[in-house]
Amino acid sequence: MSTTEDPVTSAKPTSPPYPPTQAQATQVAADPEATTNGKRRLLMTLFIIVLLIAAIAYGLYYFLIARFHETTDDAYVNGNVVQITPQVMGTVISVNADDTQTVHVGDAIVVLDPADSKVTLDQAEANLAQTVRQVRTLFVNDNQYAAQVALRQSDLSRAEDDLRRRMTIAQTGAISLEEISHARDTVRGAQASLNAAEQELQSNRALTANTDITDHPNVRAAAAKVRDSYINFARNTMPAPVTGYVAQRSVQVGQRVLPGTPLMGIVPLNAVWVDANFKEVQLQHMRIGQPVELTADVYGSSVVFHGKVIGFSAGTGSAFSLLPAQNATGNWIKVVQRLPVRIGLDPKELEKHPLRIGLSMNVDVTIKNDQGGQLGAAPNTIYQTDVFARYGDQADAEIARIIQENEGSAGPGNEAQDTSSHRKKPTVGHAMQQPTGIGRKYQNKSFVFLPQHGLEQFAASGSEEKGTRQ
């Protein structure tokens, strides 16, 4: 008898529903951790490799490049601020320049009222003219006194001849003794007159010996007063001693100023430099003449200036402060000091990209060649101007004109003609009308600014006076 089995109850599972063993569980959990550790080791290896490459690159950069450079951003543009100060007292009647404006060497920038100095100059010129005429009279008197001596000698000779004739006739008894006595008195009187005339001649010659009208002491003394008055008169017009930009103008029209009062400053921007404050530990290999590259914050890193180290300050910044540090105390703490290093700039680059005083700079000094010196050589003349010397030149020309007009000649009708209509003095109106650009030429060699030209109005007046004298 056959039987039928239930398929549900007769079916057997292919794998028993038992949990995995401990080994199987450990193997499954270890596979992700092993993967993570491998990644970490790989990243660490890559990091170490990159770090080694960076260290090697930095080492090469330091030994090949960086150790030959010293840098600082504690650097600022500096320059000369030429002060305009009056040399005479007066009232300001004209101010011809203001802040930010350009002036050229010789430009009349401030003018004082010349009324008082003009009166003094006229008095000095009149005194010189009178002195020249008086000295000329002394030279004319030489001839007059010499003629008087010759006349007295003639009188003496005539009296002596008359006495000798009377003495000869007296031997015959034709002339009385009284007449002979009168003749002898006449000889003695003629001799006395001759002696007096000779004394007058010697006295006058003592005033004119070994000199002429121009070199006579009286004329020289009067000429010195004219020169002093003329210079004081010319100083009412203040010229720009250098070419540059006006800054710190404080003068006002109508202001009464005294000699030495600061009125304004002129900054020649083509002659600025940079003072870089380096730490003392950076100066071991720094020398004068080493090349420097600089960038200014105002222009950014795209504009690079080139220059040279031109000197080191004689002391640190703290040494020259108003209150120097007192290090001899028990609470002393060492602070690294900074020494100002002066760096000259290329004037051609300054012309393209001008720098103003006080701007911040970034400085990079190449110290590879450290064979130069640390102490600067004895300097030559760095800055000079001749605009003030022109005053004396024109004063001498004015003195020569006055002497020529008044010395005349000994003969009648030969007196020098008055050329006062041709003379030309520096006047305030003339100075105020001067166009800008007077004396623009100047020398600019290396890092040295040497203005060499002065007041054109005085040079023009001097040439006109020279033509008049000729």
Give tens-digit pLDDT for 74-115: 999 999 999 999 999 999 999 999 999 999 999 999 999 999
pLDDT above 70: percentage of residues in the chain: 78
pLDDT tens string 29-43: 556 667 777 788 888
Report how far residue 409's alpha carbon sits from residue 329's, in angstroms, rounded to the nearest whole number: 85
Q: How far is CA 281 from the centre of its chain?
A: 36
Each as own residue / partner, the long-range contacts of residues 155-160 (CB below 8 Å, 24 or more positions apart, any chain) are: 155/190, 155/193, 155/194, 156/187, 156/190, 156/191, 156/193, 156/194, 158/190, 159/183, 159/186, 159/187, 159/189, 159/190, 160/187, 160/190
What pLDDT is attached to residue 328? 72
What pLDDT is attached to residue 31? 62
**Residue listed under structure tokens 């000994």:** 410
Report how far residue 399's alpha carbon sits from residue 132's, in angstroms, rounded to the nearest whole number: 11
Report how far residue 345's alpha carbon sits from residue 273's, in angstroms, rounded to the nearest whole number: 6
Domain ranges of the chain: 70-80+270-325+332-366, 87-114+236-262+383-409+418-470, 117-213
pLDDT tens string 409-442: 543 334 434 434 344 444 444 433 333 333 333 3
What pLDDT is attached to residue 295? 96
Give the strands of the sheet with 82-84, arranged side by side.
82-84, 264-267, 244-247, 102-103
pTM: 0.66
The CATH number of the structural domain formed by 87-114+236-262+383-409+418-470 is: 2.40.50.100
What pLDDT is attached to residue 324? 75
Report how far residue 190's alpha carbon sits from residue 302's, in angstroms, rounded to the nearest whole number: 104
Report how far residue 95's alpha carbon sits from residue 254's, in angstroms, rounded to the nearest whole number: 10
Environment class of 149 (CB within 10 Å of its CB; exposed 0-12, middle 13-18, buried 19+): buried
What pLDDT is attached to residue 168? 76
Taking the alpha carbons of 299, 300, 305, 308 in that order, is the dihedral positive or negative? positive
pLDDT tens string 231-242: 999 999 999 999
Q: Is 181 helix (H, G, I), strand (E, B) or coil?
A: helix
What pLDDT is attached to residue 93? 96
Report phi then psi at 173, rounded to 5.
85, 10
pLDDT of 299 above 50: yes
Nearest C-alpha neighbor of 238 from the set 221, 261, 215, 217: 261
Q: Classify residue 19 by its DSSP letter.
A: P
Instruction: Name the CATH code of domain 70-80+270-325+332-366 (choices 3.40.50.10440, 1.10.40.50, 2.40.30.170, 3.40.30.10).
Output: 2.40.30.170
458 and 390 Cβ atoms separated by less than 8 Å: yes
Half-sphere exposure of 159 (CA within 13 A, CB side): 20
Element (H, E) at 361: strand 360-366
390 and 235 Cβ atoms separated by less than 8 Å: no
pLDDT of 381 above 90: no
Report how far residue 426's alpha carbon sits from residue 390's, in angstroms, rounded to the nearest whole number: 11
Going by pLDDT thresholds of 50, 70 and 90, the confidence category of residue 464 is very low
pLDDT of 370 above 70: yes
Report how far residue 464's alpha carbon sits from residue 461's, in angstroms, rounded to the nearest whole number: 5
pLDDT tens string 153-203: 888 888 788 778 777 777 777 777 777 788 788 888 888 888 887 887 777
What pLDDT is attached to residue 192? 87
pLDDT of 462 above 70: no
